[in-house]
Amino acid sequence: MIYLDYAATTPMSENSLNIYMKAAKNAYGNSSSLHDIGHIAGMTLQASKKLITDMIGGNEKRLYFTGSGSEANVLAIQSLLNGVNPLKNHIITTQIEHSSLYTFFKRLQTDGFEVTFIEPNNQGQVSVEVVISKLKDNTGLVSIQHGNSELGVIQPIEEIGLCLKKHGILFHSDCVQTFGKMPIHIEKGYVDAISISSHKIYGPKGIGAVYIHSSAYWQPVIPGTTHESGFRPGTVDVPAAAAFAAAAKDIADKMNEYLHHYQELRSQFIRLIEPYRDRLILLNENSENTLSNILPVIIKGIEGQYIMLECNRKGFAISTGSACQVGMQAPPRSLLAIGLDEQIAKQYIRISLGAQTTAKELESFTKALINIIEQF
């Protein structure tokens, strides 16, 4: 089967897998233990943090490992809110956040927080002007996703963050889809916290991380927690952290190479579907503010679920949106947020490219996709 669902998850790289096995054998101790075996684990953990934070120009002491990107999102927000003046109970976010944050912000509304969900424009973009227009005297935190997993749209988080700094408002960004795919420089001071994940960059599943800038004050979600400087309870999975770091270093070393690779494949796909524009629409085709590895497509007159199943039958793995929302009958929330009606939004499929995707594979897939459409 040809895999074209890299935005959902990626296979572990050989290097990441090898590092995991080595660390599992040699750094198996509890990183908080004071004996020599614990010290080896602790040193491995710190080295892993340094490799990851070097990618974003940060300090390894400000990185905290979590159990996933979704958990990283929730812990980042709650930890920051715990450190904010309780009177600053207004939060700004968007309608197109990852489900882990969108549902968490909905829950916070029931806990007494006032949450403003910004609607993006029809390209999925959120401007700094709109964010600033929503600020209130009691705004304590803003959270805006860097890159959307369904539309591929990239938000101007540096511009937004610099404006929020002038107002003294905390800024968090979910960078799970962009980490390793484009430069992020957290110590420039435009963002207070980011969430990242290992399995989106060819590392293991079950581990993510939060980076919190030294200027941001936070408090533990669970008081009395000792691991990860109080950020998250539980013994840290040191082998997974080491494998995460290995994957991060590898992807950082090849970031420009992969970006060019995705851009070439995207251009190829656009050429291949050109004769079929009456049936296929590539969303945000002409926008520069998109992740080139994510191809969001509308197939006119055919539900995406049918296309996905037929592609699977023909040996191609694609999706109809974020894997975190599989099983939901409604179409992707992000598509409704940009103004598509429910019927059109249900005609959506997502093709997401990876480092291993070849031009031949994409050509084979496009031919199969066109055949499915013509046979419908």
Task: Classify the C-alpha dihedral 198-204-205-208 as positive or negative.
Answer: negative
Task: Give me the amino acid identity at 31.
Answer: S
d(C-alpha 350, C-alpha 6), whole Å: 10
Whose tokens are 């490992």? That residue is 65
Residue 136 tokens read as 């209130």
Dist. CA 296–CA 353, nearest whole Å: 11
Rounded to 5°, angle at Cα 333 from 93 and 366? 125
- Both tokens of 344, joined, read 């059109």
Reading the block at residue 254, the tokens are 């090849």
**Both tokens of residue 374?**
């013509």
Catalytic residue among 163, 175, 311, 324: 324
Residue 324 known to be catalytic: yes
Residue 81 vs residues 149, 161, 324, 374: alpha-carbon distances, Å: 25, 17, 25, 52
- Nearest C-alpha neighbor of 150 from the set 252, 296, 43: 296
Q: Looking at residue 178, what DSSP letter applies?
A: T
DSSP string across 280-293: EEETTTT-SSB-TT
Tell me the catalytic residues: 324
